[in-house]
Structure 1
């Protein structure tokens, strides 16, 4: 609609300029004819005096019409400029609101996705195979836990691996030992995910880390969720160790930002997710990933603004159910004017 308003403004301006130009051309010709008529009347002497008066009046009328056409051009030009300005503001406002909704949609989708991950880690920490490998730590228990974790991974393809660590931070089982054979026996006691898991107050609590490259998983970016594994799988049971699950961030996040529906005429737009430090953790343009984006937050939860020739829209993570979010933003950086 806003583009139609601008198109009409430009068309009115073009037609007005064209028609006023025609009027002025006719009046110039009329003025020349009036001058010629006065010359001929002067040459005719007293016999042409009456015609001279008519020629003079024609010249006056022509000048008056030229003055009117000039005033008309100025008046219409001023109003067309106002119309164009209003149309441009309308376009920016409508695109800004639409992009803000799209940014919120993207961050809401990832929130719902990550909420499910928080449910997964709390559920799997009560699995008897996970509990028993820490309660008994026998070869049979380790083998059973490994097979059980592998079964989970076959159904939940969004994870790179699942690790079970004892109270000292030693990994005793993982779901993909054939892919990550170095994991068993490794010390994770110094990692944030393990320390925070062992600090959880009950089986209803969990911890999630910001997106980071996991060296033990060959540098893949992951969202790591963790919670304590408790004796008997009880909510208030003794903490026996920790379960860490590694969400395969890259393909999931890329699918979300690349799947945000735009109108097709936005080839220069980039859909991003920003963490609380404004680091680009996902982007429809791969070149933007792992860079910093200077987001100007005029309104805490959502908004848009113009920066140079770019339109920036953003929305803060609203969280989902018991997942409060990590202060991330969905963000769209687009050309101020859509490409034709």
Structure 2
């Protein structure tokens, strides 16, 4: 006969726990063990109180029996037995107190330890899922820009350098954007960093801007071939009215060949919030956990790049033990955060295919005090 509960039986137990005012968690079991300990302690105290009264009655009975002389001899024997019984009850209650308290305390500590491990493991698993989703998505962005940088329309426009050719590029980029709605805009630059065309000129007036000092342009110019890409981390991008963006870039090369001379740079401006905020706010946690949980993506310094509390780029995650935890690929710690005891779970970007963000996924959950 199996000892495993069937799903209906398991559901019945969980429903019973909810009906009695508690959720079906190890933390709740630990609370119940503490309640049990207090009730056992109260019961033993009551036994000792009653035993004390019995002991006093036995003493008084012996005194009265002594005064009665021979007439009280039989009563004296009963009083003596009551006194012996009271002593035995005292020994048993003391033993019960010591043994039950030690066992219940050990049980409670074991449950609390296991509950911490279960919580930390679950939250770090969720953190790993978050950063994996981001890495997989951004890998596609790095592929997009490297592919589009070889487009004939783009390559030819940087050769001709005419208004007509740049207008044609703008239309071509607009067609791409109609299908790839994850981008704010696509921009084409010459070798001097001047934006010569973009795909959404009706929305963003980036043509004529100089971007040679931006991270995405300069990192692209440092690449050795069209197989590589440039990148700029989360920032408010001036080319798209200061929207929170990521920019991937790739050199445009002679004849569209990967190892040809550089003739320009293509940048793709990604809608970061649409991806990141959806991920951190869509983590599957219970409703009762949401108010005490912060879910975020941070860089190596703890700067918030995505945040369930909507403080992107305006706050940092700091807690005791952060540097040690961030050295691990995945794990958790119990630490003080904002003056409260919290479980801080973490997962580092493991990357996907040829891309790795190098960021950290963090989930901070406040513990009951």
Give the TM-score normalised by the residue count of structure 1. 0.92
1:296 to 313, 317, 323: 323
- The range that moved more, 77-86 or 96-105, is 77-86
Secondary structure of the corresponding residue to residue 296 of structure 1: helix
Displacement, 1:203? 1.5
In structure 1, the residue matched to 2:183 is 159
Indicate conservation of the 8 Å contact 2:215/2:231, yes or no: no
Q: Is the 8 A contact 2:132 2:350 kept in 1?
A: yes
- Structure 1 stretch 161-170 or stretch 256-265: which is displaced more? 256-265
Query: Any idea what SS the aligned residue of 1:149 has?
Result: helix
Matches of 1:22 and 1:336, distance apart in 2: 34
In 1: Cα distance, 2:158 partner to 2:200 partner: 18
2:70, 2:145 → 1: CA distance? 112
Aligned to 2:361: 330
8 Å CA contact 2:220, 2:231 repeated in 1: no
What corresponds to 1:312 in structure 2?
344
2:265 matches 1:232: no
- Structure 2: stretches of 5+ with no match in the other structure: 1-24
Q: Is the 8 A contact 1:278 1:292 kept in 2?
A: yes
Matches of 1:70 and 1:288, distance apart in 2: 59
Contact 2:216–2:248 (CA<8 Å) still a contact in 1? Answer: yes
1:192 to 188, 200, 215: 215
CA-CA distance at 1:60 after TM superposition: 2.4
Q: Does 1:142 align with 2:170?
A: no
Higher relative contact order by CA 8 Å / sep ≥ 6: 1 or 2? Answer: 1
Distance 1:7 1:168 in 2: 67
> Once structures 1 and 2 are overlaid, which stretch shifts more, 292-301 or 156-165?
292-301
2:234 aligns to what?
211
Distance 1:279 1:287 in 2: 10
Q: Supply the distance in 2 between the matched residues of 1:246 and 1:121 (Cα, whole angstroms).
A: 10
Structure 1 residue 290: Cα displacement? 2.6
Equivalent of 1:258, from 260, 281, 293? 281
- The residue correspondences of 1:95-174 to structure 2 (distance < 5 A) are 95-174=119-198
State the secondary structure of the residue aligned to 2:323.
coil
Hey, what's the Cα distance between the residues in 2 that align with 1:317 and 1:66?
62
Query: Take 1:189 and 1:43, find their aligned partners in 2: how far apart are those partners?
Result: 112
Q: Is residue 200–residue 206 contact of structure 1 (8 Å, CA) maintained in 2?
A: yes
Question: Is the Cα contact below 8 Å between 2:121 and 2:332 reproduced in 1?
Answer: yes
Q: Which runs of 5+ in 1 are unaligned?
A: none
Superposed CA RMSD in Å reads: 2.0
